[in-house]
Amino acid sequence: MNHPTVKRYLPWVVATALFMEQLDSTIVNTAIPAMAASLHATPLSLKAVVASYILSLAVCIPVSGWMADRYGTRRVFSIAVIIFTLSSILCGLAVNVPMLIAARILQGMGAAMMLPVGKLAIIRTFPKSELLMAMNFVIIPALIGPLLGPTVGGLIVHWLSWREIFFINVPVGLAALYLIHRHMPDYRGDTPRPLDFIGLALFGSGAALLSWLLEIFGEHEIGMTPAIILLLISLSLLVAYGWHANHTAYPLLRLTLFRVRTFRVAVVGGFVTRLGVGGLPFLLPLLYQLGLGLPAWQSGLLMMPTAAAAMGMKLLSGPILRRYGYRRVLILNTVMMGLTISFFSLVDAATPMALIVVLGLAQGFFNSLQFSSMNSMAYADIETSDSSMASTISSSLQQMSLSFGLACGSLITSGYLGGLPQTDHLAVTNALHYAFLTLGGLTILSSLSFWTLHSRDGESVSKGNLQDMQ
């Protein structure tokens, strides 16, 4: 393929797939109460529909890097879109919660291959001096998903059925397949490596067990002693993977990359930061619909300012990072994110809609700058030969943190709710308020991880764009 043509169209290829993925996840969040009523389950217990998808991503993403190196980015990306589209149809046909969860797991497997492989293609195509601009260009069209998702989902749930929300992926998936066939480059690994089955078993089972434990513990379906035993088993599996990775020639995830400071801070610091914000897409629709008593379509409209501000920030993140540097931006912006999350604890039925909109705009603004900064800085000092592994590790921990954040958000809310019924809207609102304060405080504490950065860290990405802008 012609390289300038690839650089022109590749961001659109990746953005189309991300649009489909983001549209799906945000629509599902808005439709959770309607799903719960239809399938005779409580809204908080239905978090498994969201958590199973994120968990499937976390477990399957590590294999995607190996598959891309072995079979090529174009083939793997195509298969991923096909799986995602077909599983979306199965989700829409689900007749009970277990069937819906099973289809969501399959859907997560498809998304697991899309996310890191698309990111890998961007990293391999664009030099570091153009990487921030390229990634932001990819994210801007993808953010149309969250912009449309809550509103479209709310309208569909209000006028039709929650089942129709999954069928929207079909035309988008077909469009993505056409673009992949025409414009997706076919990158492969420089040296083929065997798949680390032992590492996959250790890491996958450890991550899955830990997320599952958080989920069922929030439902109080397990005693304290079994919970502690399972927690120790899951942590032991992850520690065993760490030992295994340091004693094998071709580990599933090469942990030596964490010796690179910018990569380590972006990925590990980002993991802790995402714990605080991971529960928001699930908790905010609950606040709006159960706490404020709004219908699904109005709840969806209140999610739009966040996505709109996020799109606008993508245009400003480059100049901001060039002027102030990654260290200063990440420290201050993380604190602002935490404060914004905490302010949602003040939202109740008497809060003017204008203030809720302003709060949503602030959340989208700070979240967008945070993720642009962390995602681009991670590759500032990574060699091209390590880009596949770096993309895989980054995507894996990113999805794990969102899964844990979702589980923690629901767990904290359930803890504050105590034994009160979820039909008690005042009790649910108070529990959500305390949960927002707790998650906000956790996010503010995560800013400490960015103090270890140096003032000039990441300049190969942020300063490199200066020449391109002139």
- State the average pLDDT over residues 144-166: 70
pLDDT score recorded for residue 255: 84
pLDDT range class, residue 165, cuts 50, 70, 90: confident
Angle, helix 387-417 to helix 425-446, in steps of 10 degrees: 140
pLDDT score recorded for residue 233: 92
pLDDT range class, residue 140, cuts 50, 70, 90: low
| Residue 251, token pair as written in the block | 């580990």
The CA distance from 332 to 325, in Å, is 11
Of 37-51, 279-293, 371-385, 437-451, the one with minimum mean pLDDT is: 37-51
The CA distance from 334 to 71, in Å, is 39
The CA distance from 104 to 93, in Å, is 12
In degrees and rounded to multiples of 5, residue 168 shows phi and psi of -60, -30
pLDDT score recorded for residue 209: 81
Has residue 446 got a pLDDT over 60? yes
Has residue 205 got a pLDDT over 70? yes
As a whole-number percent, the residues of the chain with pLDDT over 90 amount to: 10
In degrees and rounded to multiples of 5, residue 319 shows phi and psi of -60, -40
The CA distance from 75 to 185, in Å, is 10
pLDDT score recorded for residue 119: 80
Of the ranges 23-32, 292-301, 369-378, which is most confident?
369-378
Of the ranges 83-92, 411-420, 458-467, which is most confident?
83-92
Secondary element (H or E) of residue 407: helix 387-417
Q: What is the pTM of this model?
A: 0.76
- State the average pLDDT over residues 194-204: 86
- State the average pLDDT over residues 341-356: 87
Length, in residues, of the chain: 470
Q: What is the dihedral of CA 338, 343, 348, 350, to 10 degrees?
A: -160
The CA distance from 196 to 290, in Å, is 46
The CA distance from 403 to 211, in Å, is 7
pLDDT range class, residue 469, cuts 50, 70, 90: very low
pLDDT score recorded for residue 239: 92
384 DSSP 8-state letter: G
The CA distance from 285 to 281, in Å, is 7
pLDDT score recorded for residue 468: 33
Q: How many CB atoms lie within 10 A of CB 426?
A: 11
Has residue 69 got a pLDDT over 60? yes
What secondary structure does DSSP assign to 307-341, as a single string?
A: HHHHHHHHHHHHHHHHHHHHHHHHHHHHHHHHHHH
CA 397 to chain centre: 10
SS3 295: coil
In degrees and rounded to multiples of 5, residue 194 shows phi and psi of -70, 155
As a whole-number percent, the residues of the chain with pLDDT over 70 amount to: 85
Q: How many CB atoms lie within 10 A of CB 466?
A: 13
The runs of H, that is alpha helices, within 254-381 are 261-264, 270-277, 280-286, 296-343, 353-377
Q: How far is CA 18 from CA 39, 145, 165, 318, in A?
A: 29, 8, 17, 21
* CB-CB contact of 302 with 294 (8 Å): yes
Q: What is the pLDDT of residues 381-390, one digit of tens each?
A: 777 777 778 8
- State the average pLDDT over residues 213-218: 62
Site of tokens 């991503």: 57
